[in-house]
Amino acid sequence: MTGLFPPGKGGGEEVAYGGKGKGILIHTLNEGNGMPLANSTTPANGNEREQVLPLLDKVKLKTLKRGRPRKRLKVLAADKGYDSKQQRTSLRKRGIRPQIPKRVWKTKKNKGRPIKISVPRFQQERCFAWYQRKSRRLAVRWERQKVYFDAFVDLATIHIWVQRILVG
């Protein structure tokens, strides 16, 4: 659910050194086909786990005039960075089944095994590839203020959806 985007010359607001390098992280909540639904940005050294529930709150579901919602989020697939007991229990309370791999400490036994990327993770990575291909401005963050960069992320999301509607 996250992608590292390095800063341009000089950095800007909320640019920091993290485990993945200097820059910011774009957190994206996608639907089943990899289309982005909600976005948020944090510094690269920010806590990824704190972003899941605010992203879920950003997504508004259409409901009938009375009664239950037509569609409900059933499964949340994420990478190991979002794994915690508290996160799993809060998702289950909302009626969402977490599909998050457990964080495993490296040992001699599992050191040489190949890394498997799940299908939902592939769709997430494809969405970040769309961001970088469709908007070069997101590949390197040139804006010094967070508000402007967030606006470009939203424009890229709109562009992806318009392309999907017109083509497919």
Q: Tell which residue, 7, 79, 73, 89, has the closest CA to residue 43.
A: 7
DSSP state of 65: S
> Does residue 132 carry a pLDDT above 70?
yes
* More reliable by pLDDT, 13 or 74: 74
pLDDT for 27-52, tens place per residue?
888 887 888 888 888 887 877 788 88
Give the per-residue pLDDT at 24.
80
CB 1 within 8 A of CB 28: yes
Query: Which residue ranges form the domains of the chain, and what is each CATH number?
Result: 2-58+72-103+115-167 (3.30.420.10)
**Which pairing describes strands 2-5 and 75-77: parallel, antiparallel, or unpaired?**
unpaired
Q: How far is CA 149 from CA 115, 144, 155, in A?
A: 32, 8, 10
The structure tokens listed for 10 are 């000089």
Residue 20: pLDDT band by 50, 70, 90 thresholds? low
pLDDT for 152-168, tens place per residue?
999 999 988 898 888 86
CA atoms within 13 A on the CB side of 100: 24
Give the per-residue pLDDT at 144.
77
d(CA 93, CA 83): 16
Residue 45 CB neighbours (<10 A): 15
d(CA 165, CA 154): 17
Backbone angles phi, psi at 23, to 5 degrees: 150, -150
> Does residue 149 carry a pLDDT above 80?
yes
pLDDT for 71-127, tens place per residue?
667 788 777 778 888 888 998 998 888 887 777 666 666 565 555 556 567 777 888
pTM score, whole prediction: 0.74
